[in-house]
Amino acid sequence: MRQGIKVGHSSPYHPQTQGKLERFHRSLKAEVLQGKWFTDAGELQRAFDHWRTVYNLERPHEALDMAVPASRYQPSARQFRSNVEPPEYDEGVVVRKVDIRGKLSLRGVSLSAGKAFRNERLGLKETQEDGQYEVWWYSTKVGVIDLKNKSITMAKNVKKCSPCPRTPVYHVSGSYTGEPGRVSDGY
């Protein structure tokens, strides 16, 4: 976000929205990890590095008309900026610096913005609702403050799409449910 990159997440339980990533991970698992043991992290990293070279420079890809990915690569016209200016917010936007614990305060209320925002300046834009503020970081809305409930609801930048009847989800575990579990499709 500091570099002007917008973040978006696919819909939970809907792998079709990120098919290329699903396919990539399937190839990675099958060609590097499946049935293999690595003695240490260095050995695993060398296996990944070798696979990356083959995947990008040697192996033809059907989706690219049997070309290798490196033949289609084009560097971005935008330059990476190592020294990014702090965010500037419009006039009337309240600016608060998040402390080392991930907290900020507004109108005497201490709120948790999260440790990801430690030492960052957030813009708080008052809404039409009494006691509610949109929370902005650079040009991205990252949450909403509700002073009545003394809470911040962080935004979930999830792209919405209609349900897909082809691949129903029968079991969900882990971070979505808080329970340990299995992956039901064999991956």
Are 108 and 138 found together in one domain?
Answer: yes
With 70 as the cut, is the pLDDT of residue 177 above it?
Answer: no
Phi-psi region of 98 (alpha: psi -120 to 50; beta: other; left: phi over 0): beta
Are 98 and 150 found together in one domain?
Answer: yes
Which segments of 54-147 does DSSP mark as H helices, in order?
69-72
Scan for tokens 């819909």, then name that residue. 11
Q: How far separated are the first and last CA of the chain, in Å rounded? A: 32
State how far the Cα of 132 lies from the Cα of 145, in Å rounded to an integer.
5
State how far the Cα of 177 lies from the Cα of 187, in Å rounded to an integer.
19
Are 140 and 110 found together in one domain?
Answer: yes
**Does the residue 6 lie in any domain?**
no
**Does the residue 150 lie in any domain?**
yes
**Does the residue 124 lie in any domain?**
yes
**Does the residue 83 lie in any domain?**
no
Q: Domain range holding 31?
A: 15-72
State how far the Cα of 47 lies from the Cα of 41, in Å rounded to an integer.
10
* This prediction's pTM: 0.57
| pLDDT tens per residue across span 111-149 | 999 898 999 999 999 999 999 999 999 988 999 999 999
* Structural domain count, the chain: 2
